[in-house]
Amino acid sequence: MAGGGFVRLPDGSVVVALSLAAPHAGSAPPDGRVRVLVRAPNRARALTRLRNLGLRAVYLRGNTEPPTPDEVTAVLHHPDGLLWRSLPHGRTESWHPIGSLLRPARSADRP
């Protein structure tokens, strides 16, 4: 993992931001890296949420790249509290629900 971090919110919950290799090549950006945001009651629960989705090798070591205020706002306004976008992101790229990252790419011969 390249970097990540967290920020504690006034209500005691945390927002964890991680830079990861994308799990599926078809849904990943060209360089294969994504920034994932997770809101949870604590850091351990945030990582457990990602592991339960199939991202098994997810660890948070240190706080080198905590979420920016814009990232915190994005995850707070999403009903699931799990978002991603490619790295490096373009100025116009919006956040995507985590489900779109975890779905395998459809091949051209499948309907």
The string of pLDDT tens digits covering residues 68-93 is: 999 999 999 998 899 988 877 666 77
Please give the radius of gyration of the chain, using alpha carbons only, rounded to the nearest integer. 14
Model confidence band, residue 2 (pLDDT cutoffs 50, 70, 90): low
Question: What pLDDT shows up at residue 1?
Answer: 45
Question: What pLDDT shows up at residue 53?
Answer: 86
With a CB cutoff of 8 Å and minimum separation 6, the contacts of 39 are: 13, 14, 15, 16, 46, 75, 76, 81, 82
Give residue limits of the domains in the chain. 3-102
Q: Is the pTM of this model over 0.85?
A: no
